[in-house]
């Protein structure tokens, strides 16, 4: 069937609410308004205010309430409007959700799912546009995933809800209008493994979330230049699928990582470090990366686009990598 990323997410929420009475959705504007990005539109009328709960404008408060609900046997889905605002709840996520299993000696699981929009490209300026996935992916005790396809938008939520520990789902806001075909019987998906989105022999391109489409576009362009790229969608940011990453790099001997976060401290740096540690002698060239410019995301459209990874930047990075191959 033809659908959108947004509708795939909504179908996942509806299924979860139908299948498990312990599941509830909570967050700012998820009820009457239908969600900041219309993911939950119609769910309040279908499931009622006990299962779809509008919360006050207090990320620390309602994320904390979600953790409490999880500790008491429910399976809450907590929607944070944008990743920038999640910083107000970082104490709850990093100091509580991520640590309680360890600090209780294995007695306290926190089966909560935190969903949040991330990414730029919509002219919403710096306070609504950054990519902090790498911050959360650095925290032991959290599982972090990033759907980039309709299949994963539909299937990651239920798998995340089955996890006994906290899962953070990052949804790049530019993907909500993504259209495509989705199988009628689409269901839960694996959230542990990376996926080869395009097989190739010359260069491995590794990315996730909103950068996947740009990376695939760059790979198509590079194919016309005689460069055959393999494209890897990480899908899981913590834990990283080292096996899939290293297998591809050992095959192609070259790698470029595409990451919308800032270059300094980005997840790209962690991926490259693992490649150097695990496949250094397989490389024929130094690893490359394409990240956002080291500035707060600009408001002006031309400047915003210039600050972000784009297909042309990816093409240029790959061509620099292969120009000496002869």
- The answer to whether 92 and 63 are in contact (CB under 8 A) is yes
How crowded is residue 293: how many other Cβ atoms within 10 Å of its Cβ?
14
Nearest Cα neighbor of 26 from 78, 67, 101 is 78
Pairing of strands 52-54, 75-80: unpaired
Q: Choosing from 128, 171, 260, 270, which is the catalytic residue?
A: 128
How crowded is residue 300: how many other Cβ atoms within 10 Å of its Cβ?
11
User: How far is Cα 195 from Cα 47, in angstroms, rounded to an integer?
Assistant: 34
User: How far is Cα 234 from Cα 216, in angstroms, rounded to an integer?
Assistant: 14
User: How far is Cα 110 from Cα 122, in angstroms, rounded to an integer?
Assistant: 34
Decide if 59 is catalytic.
yes
- The answer to whether 156 and 193 are in contact (CB under 8 A) is no
Q: Which two tokens stand for residue 39?
A: 């993911």
Decide if 128 is catalytic.
yes
User: How far is Cα 131 from Cα 260, in angstroms, rounded to an integer?
Assistant: 6
Q: Choosing from 59, 79, 171, 304, which is the catalytic residue?
A: 59
Q: Can you tell me which residue has the tokens 């956002």?
A: 292
Long-range contacts of residues 32-37, Cβ cutoff 8 Å, at least 24 apart: 35/79, 36/79, 36/81, 36/82, 36/117, 37/6, 37/117, 37/171, 37/173, 37/176
Which of the residues are catalytic? Answer: 59, 128
């Amino acid at each position: 069937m033809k659908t959108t990323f947004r509708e795939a997410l909504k179908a996942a929420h509806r299924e979860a609410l139908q299948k498990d009475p312990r599941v509830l959705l909570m967050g700012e504007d998820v009820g009457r308004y239908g969600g900041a990005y219309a993911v939950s539109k119609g769910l309040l009328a279908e499931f009622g205010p006990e299962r779809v709960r509008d919360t006050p404008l207090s990320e620390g408060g309602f994320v904390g309430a979600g953790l409490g609900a999880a500790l008491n046997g429910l399976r809450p889905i907590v929607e944070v409007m944008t990743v920038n605002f999640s910083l107000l709840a970082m104490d709850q996520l990093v100091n509580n959700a991520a640590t309680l299993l360890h600090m209780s000696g294995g007695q306290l699981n926190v089966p909560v799912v935190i969903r949040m929009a991330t990414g730029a490209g919509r002219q919403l300026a710096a306070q609504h546009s950054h990519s902090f996935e790498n911050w959360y992916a650095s925290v032991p005790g959290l599982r972090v995933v990033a759907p980039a396809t309709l299949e994963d938008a539909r299937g990651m939520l239920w798998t995340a809800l089955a996890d006994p520990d906290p899962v953070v789902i990052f949804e790049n806001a530019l993907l909500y209008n993504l259209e495509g075909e989705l199988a009628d019987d689409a269901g839960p998906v694996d959230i542990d493994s990376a996926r080869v989105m395009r097989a190739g022999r010359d260069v491995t391109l590794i990315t996730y979330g909103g950068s996947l489409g740009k990376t695939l576009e760059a790979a198509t362009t590079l194919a016309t230049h005689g460069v055959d790229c393999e494209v890897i969608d990480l899908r899981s940011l913590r834990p990283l699928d080292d096996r899939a990453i290293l297998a591809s790099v050992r095959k192609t001997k070259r790698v470029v990582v595409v990451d919308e976060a800032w270059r300094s401290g980005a997840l790209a740096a962690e991926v490259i470090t693992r490649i150097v540690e695990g496949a250094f002698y397989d490389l024929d060239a130094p690893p490359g990366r394409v990240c956002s410019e080291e500035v707060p995301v600009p408001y002006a459209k031309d400047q915003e686009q210039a600050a972000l990874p784009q297909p042309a930047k990816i093409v240029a990075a790959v061509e620099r990598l292969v120009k000496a191959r002869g």
